[in-house]
Amino acid sequence: MKRLLDAIWSEHRSIAAVLHAMLYLVREKREHGKPIDAGVFRAILYYLDVFPERVHHPKEEAHLFAAIRRKTSEGDALLDELDREHAAGEQAIRGLEQALLRYEEGGESEFARLAELVERFVAGYREHMRKEEEGVMPLARRALDADEWSAIDAAWAAHSDPLANVEAERVLERIVALAPPPLGIAARR
């Protein structure tokens, strides 16, 4: 149990940091007139696409959600809702990419739409992680026994894509390198 839940918790913290960075860029533009660094923003979107969409969510569904569903129907409504949110993630990221492109090409007149989408995306994602942490994790602790946890932990580890974590780490390092303080270490321009 500890390995899987610790991994999910840790991954959620990384995702939360990236979400904070995206929201920070929008707020700095809105409150201080600082242009959004499109390279940093694209790196953030790439991270969200490469790691949560392609690795984190599929593993949650295949291992944790599936084990809970095998054991109890208590969480079916919540798990169905989370599955729908996972399925909508890629489309939401594409929408953010399009809004960024419109902002880059269309200028100030496109900022309000980008800001709206970012704020909605971040709020929704934070709520999604809250549901998993406050709904799914406690349900899993109650419903699953030691043998089931051992099987889940083994399956989680066995289906780990070492390159995915390396890629996610590289993208996080790129975000830190590209972003100015307080998000990153790039020199202020």
Q: Is residue 187 part of a domain?
A: no
Range of the domain at 51: 2-178
* Total tally of structural domains belonging to the chain: 1
Q: Is residue 185 part of a domain?
A: no
Per-residue burial over 133-171, b = 16 or more CB atoms within 10 Å of its CB, e = otherwise:
eebbbebbeebbeeebbeebbebbeeeeeeeeeebbeeb
Burial of 8 (0-12, 13-18, 19+ CB in 10 A): buried
Output the domain CATH number for residue 28.
1.20.120.520
Is residue 189 over pLDDT 80?
no
Q: State the pLDDT confidence band at 7, using cuts at 50, 70 and 90.
A: confident
Q: Is residue 188 part of a domain?
A: no
Return the pLDDT at 154. 85
Q: Is residue 183 part of a domain?
A: no
Q: Is residue 91 part of a domain?
A: yes
Q: Is residue 184 part of a domain?
A: no
Stretch 55-81: mean pLDDT: 95
More confident call, 59 vs 83 = 83
